[in-house]
Amino acid sequence: MQPRSHNFKENAARALHDDVLQSALSNVRSGFVAKRARARSALPEFDQLCNEARDIKNHTLAHLDLYLEAYEAKVVEHGGHVHWAADAAEACGIIADICRQQNARTVTKGKSMIGEEIAINDHLEHAGFEVFETDLGEYLIQIRGEAPSHIIGPAIHLTRPQIEADFRRTHTDLPAERDLSNAENLVAEARAVLRERFVAADVGITGANLLIAETGTSVIVTNEGNGDLTQTLPRTHIVIASIEKMAPTLEDANTILRILARSATGQDMSTYTTYSTGPKRDGDLDGPDNYHVVLLDNGRSAMLGGQFHDMLCCIRCGACLNHCPVYNAVGGHAYGWVYPGPMGAVLTPSLVGVEEAGHLPNASSFCGRCEAVCPMSIPLPKMMRHWREREVDQGRMPLGQRTAFKAWAFLAKRPALYHAATSIGVGFLSLLGRRKGAIRSLPLLSGWTRNRDLPAPQGRTFQDQWRAGWRT
């Protein structure tokens, strides 16, 4: 999709007044946040595993060229093909070419954030292919013509009545009087509709949560099983993955998988973790005849060794979104591109440019919860600060805001002062916001709040609550 991140202020203001969205967002806290906390406390080794996973990623990034070469050799050894794509246009071109070579008409897709990043659906549809998303959340946003609002729950912004209305609008060959009043019936209907797509598809496209150099394997993690049907039934399986998805060995993948689902959905392990190595083998009765991997760079190699290097450790668990007060208040669409929340605020300017997305790092209360829950200990607030400072340095911020942020930056570098100042601020803000529960103007930061309401702080600052044990 075209980035619309420069509209963050307007998007956020709209989101805060959208009652339906606000009711959908309340599920984030009761769902993901509570489940993660339970999963973490049930595994005494969790923090240790996070540290090890981080070490693995650091080692992998420091040897990324070598592991990519080793991985490529193994894919080829197992009969697969590896295609390198420097940017989104190249990746889309490669995928469309493979579809054409296969005389494909229909394509099914498992959930892939890289697919969203390169807007593969639009490209393939323009090239004349029919594309069907098969992950339920992705299917819902596809029939609505929307972008995902969360990296692991793409349709988390929707409520059941909206989904019912969408199904009635799009599944017109089904009886009008059918009962769609509960989630079970909606899932059953999607299952039946998509079943036909799976069986008819010529090409199946999946993403990859990991690529394993030791064996030339791509790994997907799902709960629905849609990814498996997507990649097993058609003649051709295409994997799209970005270069930093690399893990050297099966053991390294174990460590990362032990923290991924726990951080994401709070499961000990996702229902399906699928390792795919090459096409089907001689004698196999099912599986694809062709296996292609498209390795996407799209700005990542330029992040190596720079200020945003650590962001390449991200395993896309979504914990930083779920725990972010700004994300929880405005939802994912306000961020205007495919990666929302704190990880998006750091990654999006790196990938689409600071001109388009330089605002996003301002979408933070700098409470530090994102970094605290990030299994890879990515210093998200620090990196957002880097972007802010760049934006200030380049004079992209209006003067008032610039002064405010310089003051803020001064405080933020001095934790004790920052804490004192924000504690005062909270008392003051909750007075201002008391009447409506939201703050409509803020003396110092009026430029910043003109187009959006900040949710009124409820009592203590995040740092207070964090210290009081809210951290997990």
Partner 1 sequence: MARGLADMTARERTLSAIRTGLGVSGSDKIRASSAAERLKHHPSGTVPARAKGEIENLATLFADMLEGQAASLDWIAREEDVPEAVARYLRDLNLAARVRIGEDEMLSELPWKMAGALEIASGPAEPSDTTGITRAQVGAAETGTLFLTSGPDNPTTLNFLPETHIAVIRKSDIVGGYEDAWNRLRKSYGEGTLPRNVNLISGPSRTADIEQTMVMGAHGPRRLHVIVVG
For partner 1, the binding residues in 384-403 under the rule CB under 8 A are none
Question: Residue 256, interface with ligand SF4 (CB under 6 A)?
Answer: no
Closest Cα partner for 260 from 296, 205, 313, 216? 313
For residue 232, the partner it binds in ligand SF4, partner 1, none, with Cβ less than 5 to 8 A by kind, is partner 1
User: How many C-beta neighbours within 10 Å does residue 468 have?
Assistant: 9
Question: Residue 226, interface with partner 1 (CB under 8 A)?
Answer: yes
- Binding ligand SF4 by CB under 6 A: which of 9, 197, 262, 316? 316
- Residue type at 452? R
Four-CA torsion 398, 399, 404, 410, nearest 10 degrees: 110
Instruction: Quote the least distance from Cβ 335 to ligand SF4, whole Å.
Output: 13
The alpha-helical segments, DSSP class H, found in 2-87 are: 8-16, 19-28, 34-41, 46-62, 64-77
For residue 318, the partner it binds in partner 1, ligand SF4, none, with Cβ less than 5 to 8 A by kind, is ligand SF4
| Minimum CB distance to ligand SF4 smaller for 163 or for 373 | 373
SS3 content of the chain, % helix, strand, coil (to 5): 55, 10, 35
Measured distance CA(461)–CA(389) in Å, rounded: 24
Query: x-or-dash pattern for partner 1, window 41-80, by CB under 8 A?
Result: --xxx--xx--xx--x--x-xxxxxxxxxx---x--xx--
DSSP structure string for 268-304: SS-SEEEEE-SSPPTT-SSS-SEEEEEEE-TTHHHHT
For partner 1, the binding residues in 278-337 under the rule CB under 8 A are 278-281, 283-287, 295, 297, 301-306
Closest Cα partner for 369 from 461, 462, 467? 462
Asked whether 370 and 320 are in contact (CB, 8 A), the reply is: yes
Query: x-or-dash pattern for ligand SF4, window 260-299, by CB under 6 A?
Result: ----------------------------------------
| Minimum CB distance to ligand SF4 smaller for 21 or for 315 | 315
Pull the structure tokens for residue 112. Answer: 């892939």
For partner 1, the binding residues in 106-165 under the rule CB under 8 A are 134-137, 140, 153-156, 158-160, 163
| Minimum CB distance to partner 1 smaller for 25 or for 378 | 25
For ligand SF4, the binding residues in 339-368 under the rule CB under 6 A are 343
User: How many C-beta neighbours within 10 Å does residue 181 have?
Assistant: 11
Cβ-count burial of 250 within 10 angstroms (0-12 exposed, 13-18 middle, 19+ buried)?
A: middle
Question: Residue 250, interface with partner 1 (CB under 8 A)?
Answer: yes
Instruction: Quote the least distance from Cβ 373 to ligand SF4, whole Å.
Output: 6
- Residue type at 456? A
Query: x-or-dash pattern for partner 1, window 176-205, by CB under 8 A?
Result: -------xx-xxx-xx--xx--xx------
For residue 319, the partner it binds in partner 1, ligand SF4, none, with Cβ less than 5 to 8 A by kind, is ligand SF4
Asked whether 23 and 30 are in contact (CB, 8 A), the reply is: no
Question: Residue 319, interface with ligand SF4 (CB under 6 A)?
Answer: yes
Instruction: Quote the least distance from Cβ 401 to partner 1, whole Å.
Output: 32
Question: Candidates 80-88, 356-364, 371-379, 450-458 — which segment interacts with ligand SF4 by CB under 6 A?
Answer: 371-379
Measured distance CA(31)–CA(301) in Å, rounded: 35
Owner of token pair 């760049």? 390
Question: Residue 314, interface with ligand SF4 (CB under 6 A)?
Answer: yes
Site residues, ligand SF4 (CB under 6 A)? 314-320, 343, 374-376, 378, 380
